Structure 1
Amino acid sequence: MKSASAFCFLVLILFVCAGDLAAQGTLYKESSAPAETRVKDLLSRMTLEEKIDMLGGFEAFYIRPNERLGIPKVKMADGPLGVRNYGKATAFPAGIAFAAAWNKDLTRTYGEMIGKEARSKGVHIMLSPGVNIYRAPMCGRNFEYYGEDPFLASRMTVAYIRGVQSQGVVATVKHYAANNEEYDRHTVSSDVDERTLREIYLPAFRAAVEEADVGALMTSYNLINGVHASQHQHLINEVLKGDWKFDGLVMSDWTSTYDGVAAANGGLDLEMPSGQHLNRDTLMPAIKAGNLTVATIDGKIERMLRIMFRFGFFDRPQLDESLPLYNPESRRVALQAAREGIVLLKNEGSLLPLDRGKVSSIAVIGPCAHPAVTGAGGSSKVEPFLSVSPLEGIIAAAGDRLKVFYSAGVDYDLETLFRQSQFYFISEKNETVRGLKAEFFANPDLTGAPSLTRTDKQVRFNWGESSASPGMPTDNFSARWTGKIRADVDGDYEFYVQGDDGFRLSLRNQVVIDEWHDQGATLKSAKVSLRGGEQVDLRLEYYEHSGDAEISLGWRRVSESKDSEALRLAAKADVAVVCVGFNPTTEGEGFDRPFELSKDQEEFLKSVASVNKKTIVVLIAGGNVAMSGWIDDVGGLLHAWYPGQEGGTAIGEILFGDVNPSGKLPATFEKKWEDNPTYSSYYAREKKLAYTEGVFVGYRHYDKKNVDPLYPFGYGLSYTTFQYRNLKVTPSASATDPKIKVTFEIVNTGGRGGAEVAQVYVGEQNPAVPRPVRELKGFEKVWLKPGESKTVSIDLDKSAFAYYDVGRKEWVVKPGKFDVSVGSSSRLIRFSQQVMLSK
């Protein structure tokens, strides 16, 4: 009997154990299990080969799935101006426009809309936000980012990420780090000292990790202090994963991995868009040789699996079919963002808002007036369901009584021009051949016999990092195009060349454009008089040193009739609105743009201002442009950035006063390029880009050098006025744990409702190390009706007073005196109070 009982008990034990083992066998599939438990369980079931295979991207925009284990195919999409790659989507204003709105709640809502649209397309990971600092106005991707100040950028970053991730979508903060120019981005080293990195270029990334708990981070193309970002041991393993305790996924930007073993040991978890370097052929021999550990590989897979479990990718479909692809809610947010992000920079004689009862006609002219320029170029460019141009928005806002005239004035569709320009040459057989004779040389100086000779019907090439032709080097090559052109009629003709690196154009054996030096993608033009029927010899020479390679050539007759028509309309209208700036061809990813507007736009703008004293400029650009040649001649200036699909509506509403502008500059606008702190160091020398200005970026430099900018950081006009009063600052605090509350009142003393952005700055008196005069440490956007007042309260903690001590490798606050200031810009300080931090 006892033996029978014992047998039954043994059977029971075996049954229970079997049940436990069965449960363990599906543990990673149990949604109720802790995420870390599921990660460890699934990791234990993967072979080393399966793990390594996951380290390389799949089908360009996916993490590789594993059918055997049920690991899903994780889908990514470009951002941050919208959900790209999978059809039409809402085109939101550019990131810098959100920074100009200074509205954290709006930015969070924008993130939520991005998250919802991502779910409507089954996207798991959004490749946004971009949070690099605006260092100089020419950077081709400034428009994606949040301006020059690390505190402002951090607040926008946190808000956006929280919004996206609240919808079950992973946000990816990028580009880590010091990616502040696009020119030659694969090979240039950003040489930055540690304190400058910590205080200026890393805070937004740190905030993304420590405050927003971002799921993923993307490294940049450039090198930092001589080491590629995708294999940077210090920045990834020591700072990101060590100091900040980041436990999410670190991925490369597309084709920005350069050494598989170095990247694996340097902290990169996922190579995109494929495993060109992180693959079995590279990593298995390194493991066998002891140069790479299996534990390092396991750590990368753990990070991938962690975000999959954390965001529920194993437990539900990512595609949410209840969400509309075309979301009216997103459209409303895009419109509100455009309204709040547009900055009124000049309003001479209260020209604006336009009075419908006094203005009977308005001329809307310029290349950016119609069709809409919703965003700049590159991976952030979104094809919207619809878009409203400034012309359309102004017509809608003007109403039926006002006459609206329109002319482009200047044709700035260079993409079409490059494709359609006509050339010919006479062959050795004395035959006329359409196109140009092209000769390519495997050296940068056009010497020796050409390695390749061919006919190119047009010159419109963007080779990027690739070779111009099989057998040609990807760097250090040159090319020459020769042939003829024939003008149809007598007149002035404009010739355009855009190139990266050097180029020069000759007509009749006379050089008319000479840019024979290393540079990012640069557009230059020259005006030449030609006779009808004249055969003109043409020669274009080009060289590529390193990095991206591109060259384009186009020409056309200067349309005097179009210019004359536009000027005639401007002269007869009560008001002229001139829309100028850049577009996806002339500003965007992979190249830096000029500081100046194109010569024909600037000349046209000055011509309009000469015939209509009530000229208002609407600027479409990712930052500042050279304005000294025309700013004094115009009555008004709106900076619209890239305002997204609803930008035209917002522009019309602001011009006519239906919306009171409330945007403030997120970057200092210099009077001239020479005033910028990076003027002598922006362009790399021998592949080294020295950040010689240190922590004195943007307004920090202008304050230190006492240089007056054209428009200061934080500046923006309104149609109403505001008064600040009753400042109260906590009188004293401990340097070890300062907690200070700043309170004050703002009163709307004008006749219109509006919003003011109150800015709190902190500056240390007699600092032990060089520190800025003042730094932004708090802000609040306040909406007020006429006569209404509100009390604003802003808390300052240790971070508001600290600097990074390189020797101690930590943030420190020294006891002493600090100025706490409240202003409506970095230069318009309303009041200031001294506080003492004791030991």
Structure 2
Amino acid sequence: MSSLMNSLDIDSLLEELTLEEKISLLAGSDFWHTVPIERLGIPSVRTSDGPNGIRGTKFFNGIPANCFPCGTALASSFNRELWREAGKLMAEEAKAKAAHCILGPTCNIVRSPVGGRCFESFSEDPFLSGFAASNIISGIQKEKVLACIKHFVCNDQEDERKAVNTVVSERAMREIYLKPFQIALREAQPKALMTAYNKVNGTHCSESQYLLQDILRDEWKWNGLVMSDWTGTYSIKDALDAGLNLEMPGPTRFREVIPVRHEVYTNKIHRKVIDSNVRQVLQFVNDCMDAGIPKDAVESPHNTPEASATLRKIGGETIVLLKNENDVLPLHNKTEKPQKIAIIGPNAKVAQDSGGGSAAMNASYKVTPFEGFRSKIEEGDGSVSLDYSLGCYLDRNLPDIGHLLRDDEGNPGVTAKFYKKPRTGTSDDNRELFETFHFKSTRFYLSDFKSKHLKPGELLFYTDFTGTFVPEETATYEFGCSVLGTAQIFVDDKLVVDNKTHQVAGEDFFLGIGTRQELGSVDLEKGREYKIRVEFGSGATYTLSSQYSERGGIYFGARIKTTAEEDLMSAVEVAKSADKVVIFVGLSKEWESEGFDRPNMEIPGYTNQLISEIAKVNRNVIVVNQSGSPVSMPWIDNVAGLVQAWYGGNELGNAIADVLFGDVNPSGKLSMTFPKRLEDNPSFLNYGSTNGRVIYGEDIFVGYRYYEKVGREVLFPFGYGLSYTTFSLFNLRVKVEERDLKVSVSLKNTGSRKGAEVVQVYVAQDKPNIIKPVKELRDFTKVTLDPGQEREVYFTIPLNDATGYWNTYSESWESDAGAYKVLVGSSSRDADLLQGFSIEKSSSWLGL
């Protein structure tokens, strides 16, 4: 394979490029690539999502990818070394997808529990977010792949995300929302940055001189590429003047040659502005070329044993043990007497690998919790058995049935056949087949479907999805589909679901478009083969919008038709006879996703009732929650165990089983506070768009900063997490040396198992002259110790980081003279060790 050419001489190219060529470089060529200038040897380079893994260039029928635990999970490891290891694997994944630049990490703040993209971000705390981002970026860029940190800044909700004006004080902006970016740029120097969709204080981020020039370039002296979020450019001149170097995706919407050239010729846009933006694009291309990705490289999976082992390790470290009464955990796969474990819940036999939206991908494989448990049991001595019951449903729509069907070749999944004309009967004799695919899923979004048999702009086509279904029991089965286009479901040629002749608007697909789910029922017999056929018409056939120009999509599924009460009571009966019950609950892509915010903190459906009823008949109930953000837990006092497992990527089932069976001692700590109620959280009265505006009324008091300041009791505090062993912290020592705060503390494993503890360092000012949080996280480290082992733990924290705040009067960072204290512990609530220090002289500064 031929490799990319040597690095570009940017100064020479700026002389040689025509104005028209320069303008063309300032926007993408397509969804993922930059524009090449072949006559001057400027290649096209590739970007790819994203935060949870590297998708590649396709949404539809994408090359399988390794899915990582979500951002809030990664942050919960509190492990810098692990973050760098994750970044390294992300870079390897990017090279397999021939991608030069990863569109991540996401470094926004978890401002509210209901934010649709909370799971992509890291934390409510800016220092934890910044350190997580910087170490992942370091891991990525050490392998010569570029990281694009996003979304700059205050992209903390999905409601009217492209239009909403975020009204935020300068102090909150600096101390909370810009701080993670500031840390990441200082510590890791990401080569690219993506602007946010929203406005900040009246100006869209992608055209904000204040954000992109005054802070990013002039104050922070950062010299990387600034790109827009996808379709997040809103002007020609303002965005170029502000220094939005690259409009994405392509082809351009705002940087067409003729209007931009006219702006230049009439002196509305200075030629220096064009050159300055082009220089950054060329430097970005140069940096991308260092990855050594061949020009003719093709996307491929990176499904190696080493990658799987790393994902499993990462997953195990992110899981947080929140409750463990009477040592109900760990479970055991070898027991002296027979033991029955009941596995119950909607997430037990489903792999909730990630949230939805641009973070989702075609995972190369997924391990469900039930499969992880079954593997552990098979490794044991046969004395432990598993029993299963669904208990209740989680799905907004009927569940994906790809794993229950067999395609035309007898493999799990469905066969998809594409035609130019619709079916007119039960035969295909009158149609020309132009594409055939085999899929393991029954959920499809065809936004980027392409075929050489379709002309450019040809959006009308028809697809038959077919598979064979053999029911495991005789029952009435419910089928359903939502569609962006039209669809009908047939069982043995009998029409069961019609979402074609009469359509009603719904909220599915990426941005909540398409129809509602239509349902139909049919009686099926156990063991008999049934032919399932779904006739789909592309987006051009959609009856609810005459001007819709999309290729469309379809979600279809099925399940036994029962009532919620029947499912619940069946699970209760299973739980009665079990020694221990593990209930797998939480959210999914359908409920937590880019494109919308959650309406509340509740787990959907009958989950809360299920847990409450099972807890009445069994004392040994362990709940495993999978979500990227907090959920309400009205049953918390009635269960013995609780585990927060997040969205765990490919290896989630194995990682959960490793922790619950004790092969991995849990060491995760919550990257955000879990409030008791949504009404308790500081952004409750100021979340979401109100007439195009959102006021960050809680100011700097986000997360634990608020709960501690007002004395509000929470369900679980920031930084909290249990272990199967115990630790003791003692002998805290603090001193100031020049411009550093030196902290040391002794940590001892006082339990009987090897384990890891996260030592957290908080700083507080004794008598601040302005309102401040009770204390703020400033550093942390994870330490692994054998039983009885003791170790001295050291921290060196820049005094500016430890004591600085933004002075809105002087418009600078300030560290006031006076008395301070260091608080050290295992969570924001349990920072009991205290030692004072003082600063003799005030100081102020700007910059990273």
TM superposition score normalised by structure 1 = 0.80
Q: Distance in 2 between matches of 1:101 and 1:385?
A: 24
Contact 1:347–1:637 under 8 Å retained in 2: yes
The question of 1:240 aligning with 2:216 is answered yes
Where do 1:244-643 residues align within 5 Å?
244-274=220-250, 275-313=252-290, 317=294, 325-355=302-332, 356-357=334-335, 360-398=339-377, 399=380, 400-416=382-398, 420-421=479-480, 455-457=501-503, 459-462=505-508, 557-593=562-598, 594-627=600-633, 629-643=634-648
Hey, what does 2:732 align to over in structure 1? 727
User: Partner residue of 2:31?
Assistant: 60
Mapped partners of 1:807, 1:333: distance in 2: 48
Q: d(CA) in 2 for partners of 1:348 and 1:158?
A: 37
Change in CA separation of 1:359 and 1:281 when aligned onto 2, cut-off 3 Å:
farther
What per-residue deviation string (whole Å, max 9, x for no partner) do you get for residues 55-93 of structure 1?
111121101111111111111110121111351111111
Pair 589,815 (structure 1): closer, same or farther in 2 beyond 3 Å: same
In 1: Cα distance, 2:293 partner to 2:98 partner:
11
Distance 1:422 1:74 in 2: 38
Counterpart CA distance in 1 for 2:518 and 2:396 is 21
1:689 has 2:694 as partner? yes
Matched-pair contact (CA < 8 Å) for 1:757–1:782? yes
What is the aligned length? Answer: 709
Show the counterpart of 1:663: 668
Query: Does structure 2 retain, via aligned residues, the 8 Å contact 1:581–1:620?
Result: yes
Q: Which residue of 1 aligns with 2:812?
A: 810
Which of 126, 135, 149 is equivalent to 2:111? 135
Cα contact 2:75–2:122 (8 A) shared by 1:
yes
Tell me the alpha carbon deviations over residues 582-630 of structure 1, each in whole angstroms, 9 at most, x when there is no partner: 1111111111123101131222222222222211100010111011x21
Distance 1:92 1:553 in 2: 26
Q: What's the CA shift for 1:679?
A: 1.2
Shift in CA distance, 301/112, structure 1 to aligned 2, threshold 3 Å: same
Q: Which residue of 1 aligns with 2:128?
A: 152
Q: Secondary structure at the match of 1:412?
A: coil
Partner of 1:229: 205
- Structure 1 residue 551 displacement after superposition: 14
Indicate how the Cα distance of structure 1 residues 772 and 298 shifts in structure 2: closer, same or farther if over 3 A, else same.
same
Query: Cα offset for 1:416?
Result: 3.3
* Contact 1:237-1:266 at 8 Å conserved across structures: yes
Letter in 2 for 1:379: S
What CA distance in whole angstroms lies between the structure 2 residues aligned with 1:281 and 1:466?
35
TM-score by length of 2: 0.79
2-side partners of 1:483 and 1:774: how far apart?
A: 52
Give the match's secondary structure for 1:154.
helix
Amino acid at match of 1:58: S
AA in 1 matched with 2:350 = P
Could you say what secondary structure the match of 1:695 adopts?
coil
Comparing 280-289 with 458-467, greater Cα deviation is found at 458-467
C-alpha separation between the residues in 1 aligned to 2:519 and 2:780?
60
The partner residue of 2:47 within 70, 73, 76 is 76
Report if aligned partners of 2:50, 2:359 keep a CA contact under 8 Å in 1.
yes
> Alignment partner for residue 44 of structure 1, among 10, 15, 26?
15
- The whole-number CA distance in structure 1 between the counterparts of 2:317 and 2:795 is 22
TM superposition shift of 1:685 = 1.7
The Cα offsets for residues 309-363 of structure 1, whole Å up to 9 and x where unpaired, read as 2343597627779997223222122111111100000111221112442670101
Q: Which residue of 1 aligns with 2:741?
A: 740
Q: Are the structure 2 counterparts of residues 379 and 633 from structure 1 closer, same or farther at C-alpha, using a change threshold of 3 Å?
A: same
Q: Is the 8 A contact 1:141 1:589 kept in 2?
A: yes
1:745 Cα deviation from its structure 2 partner: 0.7
- Aligned pairs (5 A) from 1:687-836: 687-730=692-735, 738-797=739-798, 798-836=800-838
Q: Against the structure 1 CA distance between its residues 485 and 166, is the aligned structure 2 distance closer, same or farther, given a 3 Å change threshold?
A: closer
Separation in structure 2 between the aligned mates of residue 465 and residue 81 of structure 1, nearest angstrom: 19
Change in Cα spacing, 1:564 to 1:131, as seen in structure 2 (3 Å) is same
Alignment correspondent of 2:146: 170
CA contact (8 A) 1:459 1:552 kept: no
1:197 aligned partner, one-letter code: M
8 Å CA contact 2:496, 2:521 repeated in 1: no
* Contact 1:366/1:410 (8 A) holds in 2: yes
Q: CA deviation at 1:411?
A: 2.6
CA distance in 2, matches of 1:743, 1:57: 50
Q: 1:361 to 1:486 in 2, by over 3 A?
A: closer
Query: CA-to-partner distance for each residue in 1:544-598, whole Å, 9 max, x for gaps?
Result: xxxxxx9999996525443333222111111111101111111111111231011
Cα distance in 2 for partners of 1:465, 1:726 equals 54
Tell me: CA distance 1:322–1:682, structure 2 relative to 1, closer, same or farther (3 Å).
closer
Change (3 A) 1:554 1:693: farther
Distance in 2 of aligned mates of 1:706 and 1:676: 12
Q: Say if 1:121 and 1:553 are closer, same or farther in 2 by CA, change over 3 A.
A: closer
**How far is 1:285 from its partner?**
2.1
Q: CA distance change for structure 1 residues 551 and 235 in 2, over 3 Å: closer, same or farther?
A: farther
In 1, Cα distance between equivalents of 2:688 and 2:518: 34
- Report if the CA contact (8 A) 1:362-1:404 is conserved: yes
Q: Residue 299 of structure 1 aligns to a residue in which SS?
A: helix
Segment drifting more, 102-111 vs 373-382: 373-382
Q: 1:761 is paired with a residue of what secondary structure?
A: strand
Match of 2:179 among 192, 200, 203: 203
SS in 2 for 1:564: helix
Distance 2:555 2:72 in 1: 29
How high is the sequence identity, in percent, across the aligned residues?
38
Q: What letter matches 1:578 in structure 2?
A: I
- Structure 1 portions without partners, runs of 5+: 1-27, 424-432, 438-453, 469-478, 489-540, 542-549
Q: Write the letter of the residue equivalent to 2:52.
A: L
Over alpha carbons, which structure has the higher Rg?
A: 1
Matches of 1:794 and 1:338 in 2, distance apart?
27
Contact 1:359 1:574 in 2 (8 A): no
Deviation at residue 659 of structure 1 after TM alignment: 1.2
For residue 210 of structure 2, give the secondary structure of its aligned residue in structure 1.
helix
Provide the C-alpha distance between the structure 1 equivalents of 2:230 and 2:299, rounded to a whole number of angstroms: 32
Could you report, residue by residue, the CA deviation over 1:511-532 in whole angstroms, capped at 9, with x for unpaired residues?
xxxxxxxxxxxxxxxxxxxxxx
Contact 2:506 2:512 in 1 (8 A): no
Paired residues of 1:94 and 1:644 also in contact (CA < 8 A): yes
Aligned-pair CA distance for 1:665: 0.6
Local SS of the residue matching 2:40: coil
Q: Which residue of 2 aligns with 1:838?
A: 840
Q: Which runs of 5+ in 2 are unaligned?
A: 58-62, 401-442, 444-478, 483-494, 524-543, 545-552, 842-848
